[in-house]
Amino acid sequence: MNDFTFQSPTKFVFGRGAHREAGRLAAELGAKKVLVLYGGGSAVQNGTLPAVLQSLDAAGLDYLSAGGVQPNPGSSFVYSAIEGAREEGVDMLLAVGGGSVIDTAKAVALGVPYPGDFLDFYRGRPVEEALPVGVVLTIPAAGSEGSPNSVITDEERRIKKGAKGEALRPKFAVLDPELTFTLSKYQSACGISDMMAHIFERYFTKTPENAVTDRLCEGLLLAIKDVAMRVIIDSEDYEAQAALMWAGMLAHNDLCGVGREQDWGSHALAHQISALYDSAHGAALAVIFPAWLKYVYTEDIDRFVRFAQNVWGISPGGDKEQTALAGIAKYEEFLRGIGMPTRLSQLDVPEEGIPQLTELAFALGNTTIGNFKRLTPADVEAVYRLAL
C-alpha cells in the first residue's frame, strides 16, 4: 500500500425531502449572496429548483439563478457566469443538477477570485482558492458532489479536461433520492456506467497489497450491479435509487482509490469522444472501457481473473486467459442489458475520426496516457479501433 492523505470534508445530507435543507446549509456557511446554477430545465419541470429557491428565501439569503448548463459543459457559459457573479458580488455557488452543473459551478467558483483565464486550471495550474460550492444532486453518476474535480470543455480548442484541487470539494451536498425519479432510462444507465468506471480506474492498478481498497471496490461494484436493473425498470424504486446515489458518491470521493496508483486512461479517451461528438459521458465510457480492458488484460492477468471471479461470478479454476476474457464479456453484456452502447458506431463516431481523437488526447503535450499500461499514441489508436 502506498502512503496517502485522505480528507473528504463535504457534509452529506441524505434522504427524502433533503433538498429543502439547501437554504439552511448555505446560511450555515455564512453565504450572503448565492448564485444558483441549473441545467436544461429538468429541475424546473420536476419542481426541484422552485423548492430549493424557496429554501433560500426561508433562510433569508439573497440569490440569483442561471439555467442552461449543457451536458459536457462548455467554457463560454463559465466565462459569462464568472462575469455575472463578479458584478453581483456573489460569495457562494449552489449547483442544482448533475455533474455538468456541479462542474460548471466549481469552474465559476475557481474563476471569480482568479484574475486570469479560468481554463488555466484545466491546463495544469494548481488549484488554490475557490468560492464555496454547495450541491443539490439530481442524478447519481459523476460523483462530483464529493470529488475535488471539475471537467469542462474548452469550446475553442474542443478539448475536454479536468481541474483538481481540495478547494473544489463541495462544502455540502444534498442527496435526495426522490429527485432522481424523473430520470430517463438512458440517463440512469449512463450514470451507472460512469460510477462503475470510476471504480475500475482505481481497481486496475499495479500497486500490490491493497486489500481493503480492493474489497471496497469489489463490494461497491456488486452493490451497483445488484440494483442497476431496478432503476432501469422502475425509476421510482426509492431504495434502488438511494443505493445508487450513495454508490455514485463513494465511487469517486477516492475512498476506493487511496494507497495505490490509479489509471484514468479510459476517462481521457472517453472525454475526447464527448468533446468531438457530444456523447453522454457514461455512454462514451461504456464504449471505451470494454475495449481498454481487452487491450490491457495481459499486463496483469491475475488481477483480471480476480475481477472476473469476484465481480462477475466466473467460476474459479479455469484457464486464466479465458476467465479474464469471460469477465470482460460479462461486463459488456451487463452494459448492453442496461441499454448502453458498446461500439463507437452507436455514438456516430466514424472510423475516420480516430486519428483526430488520438491527436486531441495528446494535445496538451503529454506523451502517454494512463498508468496500468502507459498508452502511447499508437496504443490509444488501437484502443479506439477495438471499440469500432
- Enumerate binding residues for Zn ion (CB under 5 A): 194
The minimum distance between CB 339 and ligand NZQ, in angstroms, equals: 15
Q: Count other Cβ atoms within 10 Å, centred on residue 352.
A: 7
Rg (CA), the chain: 20
Query: What is the nearest approach in angstroms of Zn ion to the Cβ of residue 102?
Result: 12
Residue pair 12/173 in contact by the 8 Å Cβ criterion:
yes
Q: How far is the CB of 277 from ligand NZQ (least distance, A)?
A: 13
Nearer to Zn ion, 48 or 144 (CB): 144
Which parts of this chain interact with ligand NZQ (CB under 6 A)? 39-43, 46, 71-73, 97-101, 103, 138-139, 141-144, 147, 149-151, 179-180, 182-183, 187, 190-191, 194, 252, 267, 281-282
Residue 139 binding: pick among ligand NZQ, Zn ion, none (C-beta 5-8 Å cut-off by kind): ligand NZQ
CB 232, min distance to ligand NZQ, A: 14
Q: Which partner, ligand NZQ, Zn ion, none, binds residue 161 by CB below 5 to 8 Å per kind?
A: none
Q: Which is nearer to ligand NZQ, 79 or 186 (CB)?
A: 186
The DSSP H or E segment spanning 269 is: helix 265-277
Looking at residue 160, what DSSP letter applies? Answer: E
| Cβ nearer to ligand NZQ, comparing 167 with 325 | 167
Of all residues in the chain, what percent are helix, strand and coil, respectively (each to 5)? Answer: 55, 10, 35
| Of residues 103 and 194, the one with the C-beta less far from Zn ion | 194
| C-beta of 194 vs 263, nearer to Zn ion | 194
DSSP class of residue 15? S
Q: Which does 42 bind (CB under 5 to 8 A by kind): Zn ion, ligand NZQ, none?
A: ligand NZQ
Shortest Cβ 194–Zn ion spacing (Å): 4
CB of residue 7 to ligand NZQ, shortest distance in Å? 16
To the nearest whole angstrom, how small is the minimum distance from the Cβ of residue 42 to Zn ion? 20
Query: C-alpha cell of 157?
Result: 480548442
Nearer to ligand NZQ, 201 or 379 (CB): 201
Pairing of strands 33-38, 172-175: unpaired
Nearer to Zn ion, 138 or 323 (CB): 138
Q: Where are the beta strands (DSSP E) in 127-171?
A: 133-137, 149-154, 159-164
Q: From Zn ion, ligand NZQ, none, which one binds at residue 368 (CB under 5 to 8 Å depending on kind)? A: none
